Amino acid sequence: MAGSGGLGGGAGDLQGAGPGPGQGTALRAPRAPLAFVALLLGAYCLFALPGRCPPVARTLAPVPAPAEPPHASRRLGAPGLPVASGPGRRRFPQALIVGVKKGGTRALLEFLRLHPDVRALGSEPHFFDRGLMPRTLDGQITMEKTPSYFVTQEAPRRIHSMSPDTKLIVVVRNPVTRAISDYAQTLSKTPGLPSFRALAFRHGLGPVDTAWSAVRIGLYAQHLDNWLRYFPLSHFLFVSGERLVTDPAGEVGRVQDFLGLKRVVTDKHFYFNATKGFPCLKKAQGSGRPRCLGKSKGRPHPRVPEAVVQRLQAFYRPFNHKFYQMTGQDFGWD
């Protein structure tokens, strides 16, 4: 999995027991490093030697959390909300946004973070880490977003071994549009990149090159088939990236229902920014201005010849139809 690390441990809370009475500073200091080493060894055993770990490596009973750097509370979680200190417990996520890249996962996460009962990292950790998870109160949900999970072969098994009850959210988008958006993002960082057409097809307009990640990610049916080996379909919610733009309140409402949350985030929280072509969040009480996603969201796409678009649409069509059948949803991409 991207970023290495492990998806190990139990789904319990992450708050370790404090030192017992009578323990001095000299005795307390080494406990956090030892606990962290134990966590790493347990995670390594779970993912490098599946099926052969001792029970302690699989359960990862709560241990004292590692010492945290100063001001960690300002770097994690929602702006202005302390997560490294104060009330609450660290827990492994009960819900994950597992994909897909350039589908609208960042937008969905930011919209959900308006909900008082959702705590989530703003970054993409790519692995579950006790020191990174924000603190939550009883009744709150811990979430994480890492879009690469959906297309990573090992991710379903690893996540299932952590907690088979995890709720999984997949934001999907027309795979052709998604591929072009993916290319646009890469092109912004690598100006000398070959053309979209040269990367998408072998030998001009020959066979589609599914080895290129921008194309391969859009094979949603294949990726979902891998996940369904470990999780039932009822554990998934599939969010339309297109409707997340045209009707953000409606899609976020579906997510809140799926998570068992009251519909707190509604249409009153959104307005459409015509310049970006994307919904933004209205200013919150006490805030000076509305909040839109970063400049990379709504980035102009490079012009792709119509013949290339049509070839890709024809290529994806059978995969799209299978995905519609698997999910019971017609996303209208054809």
Binding region for 3'-phosphoadenylyl sulfate? 102-106, 173, 181, 297-301
C-alpha 36: how far from chain center: 24
Secondary structure of 290-310 as H, E, C letters = CECCCCCCCCCCCCCCHHHHH
Q: Which residues are catalytic?
A: 102
Reference 84, options 73, 71, 70; nearest CA is 73
Question: CB burial class (10 A; 0-12, 13-18, 19+) of residue 119?
Answer: buried
Query: Is the CB of residue 134 less than 8 Å from the CB of residue 77?
Result: yes
- The answer to whether the CB of 145 falls within 8 A of the CB of 97 is yes
Q: CB within 8 A of 263, min separation 6: which ones?
A: 253, 256, 257
Dihedral over Cα of 239, 245, 246, 250: its sign: positive
